Amino acid sequence: MVMSVPFRRLLTLALLLVTAFCALGYRLVDLQVLRHEELRDLAKNNTHRKINFEPKRGEIRDVRGNLLATSVFVKTVCADPTLLGAHAPAVARAIAPLLEVNESELLARLQPRLRTNELGVLVTNRYVVLKRKVKVETWQSIVDTMEDLKLPVDEKALTKAERGFYRNLRTKAIFPDVVDDQLRIYPNESLAAHVLGYVGTGEREVDGEKVIETTGIEGIERVLNAKLGGVRGWRMTETDRARRELVAYREQEIQAKDGLNVVLTIDAGIQHIVETELAEAMKKHTPISASAIVVRPRTGEILAMATLPTFNPNDPGASQEAHRRNRIITDLSEPGSTFKIVVVSGALNERLVTLDDRFDCERGNFYYAGKLLRDHHAYGVLSVEEIITFSSNIGSAKIAFKMGEQGLYDYVKAFGFGERTGIPLTGEVRGIVHPVKNWNKLSISRIPMGHEIASTPLQMVMAMSAIANKGKLMRPMMVDRLEDSQGHAVVKYQPQMVRQAVSEAAAREMVTALKTVVSDKGTAAKAMLDYYTVAGKTGTAQKPPYAPGMYFSSFIGFFPADNPELCISVVLDEPKNGYYGGTTAAPFFHGIAERSASYLNLRPEKPVPDQQFTTTTNQKSKSGLLAARRH
């Protein structure tokens, strides 16, 4: 059969159409079925975005709400060298002052570099970090500078493509990283630096992406890092060609949960008083270090803790490592005569002695186990109270003989020596308390005067606080509560008693003895206060290798003696211009105590002369509101 020409043409056309449709159908099947997975991922990568939300690190505040540490979001400024062309030097010159980096160094970073990637393809770097932790205000200045950047070309005379290049140079060549970084700020600089600690920056991988993370390195920042850190959030969304977010296509959104705010027991006002007094001590006695702690004996709350030399946590790298160490919990020393409170209160508790019992102090020289034990004065017969008043080594050794080695050891342990106090700070050491089996014959005569034993200043102040607190040894409290970002309390910490070290009666008798130390006849007359009775003990211990001039001088006292509000310890390591605790540390106890009492508005115990309400010219001090009122 012969087909007509029109029919053949029709058939050919039909065949062509069928072939075309088959080809299209195959393409459709190829795209939608065979390459479905691959193309779906490709399409998703082009449009879908995961935006990470950084949680704001919690703030640290003092007990009155004063801000001690906070965080601000900052930018990581990056560059795409491929978009700069030959204008890299002009860009470097313009933004180097804003970034506070060297211009030539910046220019070197803005140069495109070629490298072969893992697939063997030659690629150029399109992501160069220029500077981290740039404040938002600085970033805004960079944006403005780039917009107004003067380049040696007439952009109006350029082609459309060339104008596009310059537009990209101004708007896209310098850009911020998509994930905001954080900068930790300590507004009071070195105030309470050893308590707060400082943070560092680390890189961590989250879901295959590298994220910059702020982590506590020392102090409260480290101990409560998990609480301060918060929880990261994210958003799954889509973007258009220009990578602008299409809000309507948001899929999943989990808001970041900011870190909890930490409220410390520290009082910034008292901390400032302590630090200014210690600064004076450093000036006057030039010790290696000066430390002080202020504790509320009833609860164990630490109101101030300071060590000088100190550091600025905003820039911890600028200080020496030794200055960053919290000596109050990390440094051990023989406590010296302040340790006599342990042996005497132990003996009083066991009813082995009373305050009126008398001991022969051998005119200052006492041979025991073939070695000479000395007092700094040739005391004769002293009562137990006077042994404390005059700080007799021989007297306290004789009291220890009555207790026996095991008895003495038990009380040393009962007051918390040889174990960590449990303060929520890193680096605390246990101290050294040898077991009785390792004692030599001299130990029982040396330990009562604070030798052959090593403790931290914190252990010593907590032991003294136990005497002030009716014999109850408290755990030091540093954190009062944790709050959410709206200020609602999430966790409230309560005072914890460790143990009843001695009975209330023994503690009361010990207070009576300690009151005589801070009197005209005692070793700490310079610690006396005008309106409050003070109880306390001086300490002057020689430091290894026991060379002349190497002393550890201290004074620990509390007031009002019969209803203590504050227990204060001042420790000077190798003071010059005097070395007795009563002459070097006690005056600074006086300064801290008097100013703190005024600041806390403590009710005076002693009669107060009437004073005018208006400040007279004579009363005006040049040294400021929180300054010391010296008499």
Task: Give least dist CB 234 to other proteins, A.
Answer: 15
Q: Which of residues 189-228 bind other proteins (CB under 8 A)?
A: 191
Asked if 265 and 303 touch (Cβ cutoff 8 Å), the reply is yes
Measure the CA–CA gap between 485 and 489, rounded to whole angstroms.
10
- 270 forms beta bridges with none
Q: How far is CA 599 from the centre of its chain?
A: 24
Task: Give least dist CB 302 to other proteins, A.
Answer: 17
Asked if 74 and 134 touch (Cβ cutoff 8 Å), the reply is yes
Q: Is 245 in the site for other proteins (CB under 8 A)?
A: yes
Q: Is 188 in the site for other proteins (CB under 8 A)?
A: yes
Fill in the per-residue mask, 547 to 586: x = in contact with other proteins (CB under 8 A), - = not in contact. ----------------------------------------
Q: Is 603 in the site for other proteins (CB under 8 A)?
A: yes
Measure the CA–CA gap between 349 and 509, rounded to whole angstroms.
9
Task: Give least dist CB 61 to other proteins, A.
Answer: 9
Q: Is 627 in the site for other proteins (CB under 8 A)?
A: yes
Give the interface segment with other proteins, choosing from 310-318, 427-435, 466-474, 616-624 (CB under 8 A): 616-624
Task: Give least dist CB 175 to other proteins, A.
Answer: 16
Q: Is 622 in the site for other proteins (CB under 8 A)?
A: yes
Residue 425 is classified by DSSP as S
Q: Is 441 in the site for other proteins (CB under 8 A)?
A: no
Number of C-beta neighbours around residue 64 at 10 A: 10
Query: What are the tokens at 455?
Result: 């403790």
Fill in the per-residue mask, 157 to 186: x = in contact with other proteins (CB under 8 A), - = not in contact. ----------------------------x-
Long-range contacts of 92-100 (CB under 8 A, 24+ apart): 94/145, 94/146, 94/149, 95/130, 95/142, 95/145, 95/146, 95/174, 98/138, 98/141, 98/142, 98/145, 99/130, 99/131, 99/134, 99/138, 99/142, 100/131
Q: Is 599 in the site for other proteins (CB under 8 A)?
A: yes
Q: Where are the alpha helices (H) located in 382-456, listed in sequence order?
A: 384-390, 393-414, 443-446
Which residue type does 164 have?
Answer: G
Among 19, 46, 82, 623, binds other proteins (CB under 8 A): 623
Give the interface segment with other proteins, choosing from 66-74, 199-207, 281-289, 392-400 (CB under 8 A): 66-74
Query: What are the tokens at 330?
Result: 């990390």
Q: Which of residues 247-286 bind other proteins (CB under 8 A)?
A: 247-248, 268-269, 271-272, 276
Among 531, 542, 574, 578, binds other proteins (CB under 8 A): 531
Q: Where are the alpha helices (H) located in 30-135, listed in sequence order?
A: 36-47, 88-99, 103-109
To 5 degrees, how large is the angle CA 257–CA 263–CA 269?
140
Q: Is 630 in the site for other proteins (CB under 8 A)?
A: no
Total residues in contact with other proteins, by rule CB under 8 A: 46
**Which residues in this chain contact other proteins in the complex, by CB under 8 A?**
66-67, 70, 72-73, 136, 185, 187-188, 191, 245-248, 268-269, 271-272, 276, 531, 595, 598-599, 601, 603-613, 615, 619-627, 629
